[in-house]
Amino acid sequence: MKTKIIISTIVFITMTVVLAPALLGQNTTKSLEECIQSAIDNNLTMKSGRISIERAKDLQGTAFNIDKTSFSLSQDPTSGGSPDNSISLSQSFEFPTVYGSRRGLLKAETNLERSNLDVTRNELVKEISATYYQLLYAKENIKILQEQDSIYGKFLFLANAKLKSGETGRLEQMNAERLYNENRIELQKAEKNYQSIQLILQRWMNTDEAVEPVEPTLTVLDAVYPFNDFNPEQTPLGEVYANKKIISEKNLSVIKQGYLPSFNFALKNQFLIKGFNPYDLQRERFDKGNFMGFEVGISVPLFFGEQRAKTKAAKREVEIARVQQEEVMLTMRKNYQTYLNEYTKAKNALDYYSLRGSKQAEDITRISQVSYEKGEIDYVEYIQNLKTAVEIHLLYANAINDYNQTIIMLNYLQGNK
């Protein structure tokens, strides 16, 4: 009876190892590039950013904001046939340079919206890349635990067989069963963690489809860029603060236009209403035509207290924008140097496990299995060796993930060029 139970257990383990990838394959398989493109197209923050750019472009049309044209009809019965009885048309204008300054400010605001969208895109690429490779890392952990599940299942089978034949005691069989069950628990945790990361990726991509990475195993990212060559001002975030500074300067230019005069003109034409003469005055149209006139004027600011205060405040804004830009650039340089250090540490760990650690884990597992089956080592040593091998495999996967995440962060800080 026990033999049937053991055989059923082994069959279940085998089916789990074989069918799990197939079950995962029911999800939508995508490469990293496909995930990024899908996120750029569908992410709501990206959509909002594109709308903001169009809105800023629409507002550029408000640069030439000319005051309303005034139209009036006057009829004064006490004025006889004077030009006071007239139709008049009047219009006022700012000094011509005012409109150019406004347009420059609105263009700068449009460029800021474009820079904000570039920042959003850069952050989105970073989040998608980090989550995608975190998903690959979780998938690798599942694979390691599944392989370990098979080894522990075999160990449990041998322990049960030895117990039945009287070659060993109940303690060895209990430890084998404990290891098997504990590994199954860890495997279930790893699978739930995988699903949680999938949900995070779905949120960034704004999709209901669960994404399965196209890579069968956890891969190592290539370090493409010369990481020592870093200029924060050429990154999307650097361009945002450069544009903020430009906007403050353009705004100062607009405010300074308040010292300039404005112009107005008016056209008047005599207009008599014969039927409207309540005082019965002698009012006749001039026989040679209507009287016409015009008026041209200029408005000159004589009191500058408010204007001087506005100009001083605008200059402060320019200074604030400059200081904020310097602060952000300094922070970016420090962050970049920090991740360069993390990159060096991650690369050293990866090199060790790639060259030595991974092979040692495979040798430990293989030699321990053979030695245990031949009776050269007891189950305590066998268990310890298996745990060591699993730990090395997990540490190797973790080293790859740490390395990949530092590459992703360095690419993000450089602007994902």
Phi/psi at 177 (5° precision): -65, -40
Distance CA 270, CA 156 (A): 113
* β-sheet bridge partners, residue 92: 264
pLDDT tops 70 at residue 142: yes
Higher pLDDT, 180 or 50: 50
* pLDDT score, position 402: 94
pLDDT of residue 275: 61
Partners of 12 in beta bridges: none
pLDDT of 83 reads: 44
Q: What is the pLDDT of residue 132?
A: 95
Specify the higher pLDDT residue, 148 or 78: 148
Q: Identify any residues that bridge with 45 across adjacent strands, giving them in sequence order.
A: none
pLDDT of res. 209: 87
Instruction: Look over the chain and give the mean of its residue pLDDT values, rounded to a whole number.
Output: 82
Q: In the chain, pLDDT over 70 holds for what percent of residues?
A: 84
pLDDT category, 280, cuts 50, 70, 90? low
Whole-angstrom distance, CA of residue 101 vs CA of residue 260:
13
Q: Please choose, from the candidates 321, 142, 309, 288, the residue with its C-alpha nearest in 3D space to the C-alpha of residue 216.
A: 142
The pLDDT tens digits of the residues spanning 7-47 come to 444 444 444 444 444 444 456 888 999 999 999 999 999 99
Greater model confidence, 175 or 57: 57
Can you give the pTM of this predicted structure?
0.79
pLDDT (average), residues 143-168: 79
Q: How far apart are CA 52 and CA 150, in angstroms?
A: 55
Helix 379-414, helix 305-352: angle, nearest 10: 150
Count Cβ atoms within 10 A of the Cβ of residue 165 and give its class: 0-12 exposed, 13-18 middle, 19 or more buried: exposed
Tokens of 332: 């970016």
- Predicted pLDDT of residue 194: 94
The DSSP string of 69-80 is PEEEEE--GGGT
* CA nearest neighbour of 249 among 192, 205, 293, 314: 314
Amino acid letter, 30: K
Who wins on pLDDT, 263 or 195?
A: 195
CATH topology of domain 2-62+94-260+301-414: Outer membrane efflux proteins (OEP) (1.20.1600)
Q: What is the mean pLDDT of residues 397-414?
A: 93
